[in-house]
């Protein structure tokens, strides 16, 4: 069995968890870059565009497609790309303008936003446990953003909320359109993000080790993690993927804490603990519900 088929046979939750494990160093690497915000964002999405272009062309060769057919997005891919572009740009700008832990915990709003979008736009139903967990996360976010309102972290916190909205849209479109090509969508999004950031960037003002962090971000962390996340979103509801993504808030904040010595505020620490506890409870309830469904089907 090929590696692709083996990956395709994995459970959606495991695929999403692998994606989050790869994505977790994202905030730390962004923190380590010394270039200005716009330049760092430009190179991150530029390298991401190149990586995704290679993947799209490689897949096109496998499918015996021409270059244009391999990379040209359709209507669904364009919509996905717009959400992906917003996520890619807003996340890095948020990390650069607030505490990394704030950004990562605020991104936890993704399950709530994904649930709302899934219900009102894509006409999906959600289990009660997902709604309850999402509302608990929302309450934690209100406390974090409220604590920093009017301070130096305010802009970064708002950008994180916008990134969470874009991520929710990205996951919902992927989940609602299982036949779409997410690579084309991500490629389109990364390309328009690169064009949008180019006028404000200073591409030549990057030096030394910054190139290493940018290359790791653009060619590994971001594209590979989102490919796993989008694969997981095809198999389980977007809100469920969003809840699994809460693990990034844990591991990402821990990495920044250990390597950059950026200690989360007391409010962020408490709210993060609430989010972790909520995720554990939600996961246990989800496993029990799945077990009951399998037992009923077997009878």
- CA neighbor of 20 nearest in space, from 214, 230, 169: 230
| Distance separating alpha carbons of residues 45 and 61, to the nearest angstrom | 24
Give the residue-averaged pLDDT of 18-38.
Answer: 91
Q: pLDDT band at residue 4, thresholds of 50, 70 and 90?
A: low
Residues 6+ apart with CB under 8 A from 133: 111, 243, 278, 279, 281, 282
Across the chain, mean pLDDT equals: 83
Q: Please give the pLDDT value at position 3.
A: 52
Q: Please give the pLDDT value at position 52.
A: 92
Q: Please give the pLDDT value at position 150.
A: 60
Give the tokens for residue 141.
């976010």
Q: Please give the pLDDT value at position 154.
A: 80
Q: pLDDT band at residue 299, thresholds of 50, 70 and 90?
A: low
User: Domains of the chain: which residue ranges?
Assistant: 29-298
pLDDT at position 8 over 60: no
Give the residue-averaged pLDDT of 258-267.
Answer: 83
Give the residue-averaged pLDDT of 221-236.
Answer: 80
Q: pLDDT band at residue 39, thresholds of 50, 70 and 90?
A: very high
| pTM, 2 dp | 0.81
Lowest mean pLDDT among 34-38, 168-172, 187-191, 289-293: 289-293
pLDDT at position 241 over 70: no
- Residues 196-205 have pLDDT tens digits of 999 999 999 9
Lowest mean pLDDT among 22-36, 144-158, 214-228, 265-279: 144-158
Q: Please give the pLDDT value at position 296.
A: 74
Select the highest-mean-pLDDT range: 73-87, 121-135, 141-155, 217-231: 73-87
Q: pLDDT band at residue 167, thresholds of 50, 70 and 90?
A: confident
Q: Please give the pLDDT value at position 9.
A: 52
Which residue has better confidence, 123 or 29? 29
| Distance separating alpha carbons of residues 278 and 187, to the nearest angstrom | 34
Lowest mean pLDDT among 17-21, 119-123, 295-299: 295-299
| Distance separating alpha carbons of residues 57 and 63, to the nearest angstrom | 10
Q: Which long-range contacts (CB under 8 A, 24 or more apart) does 266-274 make?
A: 267/143, 267/144, 267/147, 268/99, 268/101, 268/102, 268/105, 268/144, 268/147, 269/101, 271/105, 271/140, 271/141, 271/143, 271/144, 272/101, 272/105, 272/140, 274/136, 274/140
Backbone angles phi, psi at 45, to 5 degrees: -75, -25
């Amino acid at each position: 069995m090929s590696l692709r088929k083996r990956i395709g046979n994995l459970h959606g939750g495991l695929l999403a968890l692998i994606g989050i494990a790869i994505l977790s160093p994202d905030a730390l690497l962004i923190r380590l870059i010394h270039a200005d915000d716009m330049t760092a964002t430009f190179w991150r999405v530029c390298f991401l565009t190149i990586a995704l272009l290679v993947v799209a062309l490689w897949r096109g060769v496998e499918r015996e497609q021409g270059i244009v057919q391999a990379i040209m997005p359709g209507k669904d891919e364009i919509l996905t790309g717009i959400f992906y572009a917003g996520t890619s740009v807003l996340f890095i700008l948020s990390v650069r303008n607030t505490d990394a832990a704030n950004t990562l915990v605020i991104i936890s709003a993704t399950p709530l936003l994904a649930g709302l979008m899934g219900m009102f736009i894509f006409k999906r139903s959600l289990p009660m446990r997902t709604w309850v967990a999402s509302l608990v996360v929302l309450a934690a976010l209100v406390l974090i953003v409220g604590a920093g309102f009017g301070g130096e972290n305010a802009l970064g916190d708002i950008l994180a909320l916008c990134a969470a909205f874009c991520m929710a849209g990205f996951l919902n479109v992927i989940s609602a359109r299982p036949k779409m090509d997410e690579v084309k969508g991500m490629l389109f999004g990364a390309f328009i993000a690169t064009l949008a950031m180019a006028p404000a960037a200073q591409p030549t003002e990057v030096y030394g080790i910054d190139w290493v962090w940018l290359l790791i971000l653009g060619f590994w962390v971001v594209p590979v993690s989102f490919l796993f996340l989008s694969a997981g979103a095809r198999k389980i509801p977007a809100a469920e993927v969003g809840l699994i993504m809460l693990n990034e808030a844990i591991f990402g904040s821990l990495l920044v804490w250990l390597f950059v010595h950026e200690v989360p505020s007391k409010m962020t620490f408490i709210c993060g603990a609430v989010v972790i506890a909520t995720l554990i409870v939600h996961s246990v309830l989800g496993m029990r519900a799945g077990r009951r469904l399998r037992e009923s089907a077997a009878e």
